[in-house]
């Protein structure tokens, strides 16, 4: 079998590797094929030589994740290099720009005392926090290599377990009225999704998918945690609780009881009538009292006693022997 001129060098190399020694001798039975093979071997030798003089990086996991407070490894493997002591750097890429994490053989920033370098270039975070979620770049500079620089990007996600959600359940709801139950949790990462439970049984997103909730009329949002009853039934009474969950775990609030009561229309009407009658009786009684004068002002009868006014401090008296008045001083200065 002779080699044609159309296949690419990569195809020729693959074909060459697939052949045994005896097959190779059979393949190169023409002068043109021998020339093409010599050219191919020269090209491959050149590529091998250049690859030896180039720094090449790879990673075992470009998108690692871990739960908060656990350890995580950011893999940066030097696959090819000829420089003995290359310069290795790690940078954290955020919206504010890149910042050094590892430089000049030291850990910097938020990862100080929480990370180490595993030779030659892998970064190990021993106690990950939610603030570590970001993109990280491993950079290696090899001055003695033909290709002196290479980098690799790693996207780290630190998952945060939700805290206990805040649940709001109305204690009592009138029959046939609407009711809204809310559930909120803001600490979890990725963002929490919500489940509602009634009497220890999960409430489905669509009531038509469950026999127990088929006749219920409600809407449930797993993203916002809102459970809204359009028209409450007697069967909707019970104990409700909410669960917040994400990839890191889940938590739930304590059960809260919701009661459904009937609205007694007849009782309400009778109560209103009683109040109206009582107010009418009070009004009639007050009007009669005014007409009979019970609330009019009474004038004081009889002679009003007036204290006689004193003059200049002299008392006027009449003696038994005298027919006229004489005065005497009522006090001595």
DSSP E strands, 65-176: 65-67, 72-74, 77-80, 87-94, 97-103, 106-107, 115-118, 122-125, 134-141, 149-159, 166-168, 172-174
The upper half-sphere exposure of residue 174, i.e. CA atoms within 13 Å in the direction of its Cβ, equals 5
Contacts of 118 (CB under 8 A, 6+ apart): 73, 124
Q: What is the overall mean pLDDT for the chain?
A: 81
Question: Residues 172-204: pLDDT tens digits?
Answer: 999 999 999 999 999 999 999 999 999 999 999
pLDDT, position 131: 94
Cβ atoms of 77 and 152 within 8 Å: the answer is: no
Question: Residues 225-249: pLDDT tens digits?
Answer: 999 999 999 999 999 999 999 999 9
Question: Residues 26-80: pLDDT tens digits?
Answer: 544 555 665 666 656 555 554 544 445 788 999 999 999 999 999 999 999 998 8
Closest among 75, 121, 130, 128 to 102, alpha carbons compared: 121
pLDDT, position 119: 85
Q: What is the DSSP letter of 247?
A: T
Backbone angles phi, psi at 146, to 5 degrees: -60, -45
For residue 208, the Cα-to-chain-centroid distance in whole angstroms is: 30
Cβ atoms of 239 and 256 within 8 Å: the answer is: yes
Q: pLDDT class for 333, splitting at 50, 70, 90?
A: very low
Cβ atoms of 115 and 124 within 8 Å: the answer is: yes
Strand 72-74: give its sheet, edge to edge.
72-74, 122-125, 115-118
Quick check: pTM over 0.85? no
Kindly tell me the burial class for residue 113, based on how many C-beta atoms sit within 10 Å of its own C-beta (0-12, 13-18, 19 or more): exposed
């Amino acid at each position: 079998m002779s080699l044609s001129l159309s296949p690419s060098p990569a195809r020729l190399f693959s074909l060459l590797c697939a052949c045994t020694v005896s097959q190779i001798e059979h393949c190169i039975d023409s002068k043109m094929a021998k020339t093409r093979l010599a050219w191919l071997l020269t090209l491959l030798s050149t590529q091998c030589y250049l690859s030896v003089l180039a720094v090449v990086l790879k990673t075992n996991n470009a998108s690692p994740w871990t739960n908060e407070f656990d350890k995580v490894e950011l893999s940066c493997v030097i696959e090819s290099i000829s420089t003995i002591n290359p310069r290795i750097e790690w940078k954290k890429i955020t919206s504010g720009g890149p910042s050094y994490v590892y430089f000049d053989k030291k850990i910097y920033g938020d990862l100080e005392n929480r990370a180490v370098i595993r030779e030659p270039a892998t970064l190990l975070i021993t106690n990950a926090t939610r603030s570590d979620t970001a993109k990280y770049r491993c950079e290696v500079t090899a001055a003695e290599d033909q290709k002196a620089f290479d980098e690799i990007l790693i996207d780290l996600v630190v998952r945060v377990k939700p805290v206990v959600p805040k649940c709001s359940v109305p204690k009592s709801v009138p029959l046939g009225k609407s009711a809204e139950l809310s559930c909120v949790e803001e600490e979890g990462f990725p963002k929490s999704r919500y489940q509602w439970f009634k009497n220890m049984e999960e409430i489905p997103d669509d009531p038509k998918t469950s026999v127990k909730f088929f006749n219920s009329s409600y809407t449930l949002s797993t993203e916002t945690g809102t459970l809204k009853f359009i028209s409450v039934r007697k069967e909707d009474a019970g104990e409700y609780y909410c669960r917040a969950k994400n990839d890191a775990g889940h938590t739930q609030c304590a059960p809260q009881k919701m009661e459904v009561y009937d609205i007694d229309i007849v009782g309400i009407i009778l109560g209103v009538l009683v109040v109206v009658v009582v107010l009418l009786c009070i009004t009639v009684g007050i009007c009669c009292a005014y007409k009979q004068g019970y609330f009019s002002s009474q004038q004081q009868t009889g002679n009003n006693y007036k204290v006689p006014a004193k003059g200049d401090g002299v008392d006027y008296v009449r003696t038994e022997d005298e027919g006229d008045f004489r005065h005497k001083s009522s006090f001595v200065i």
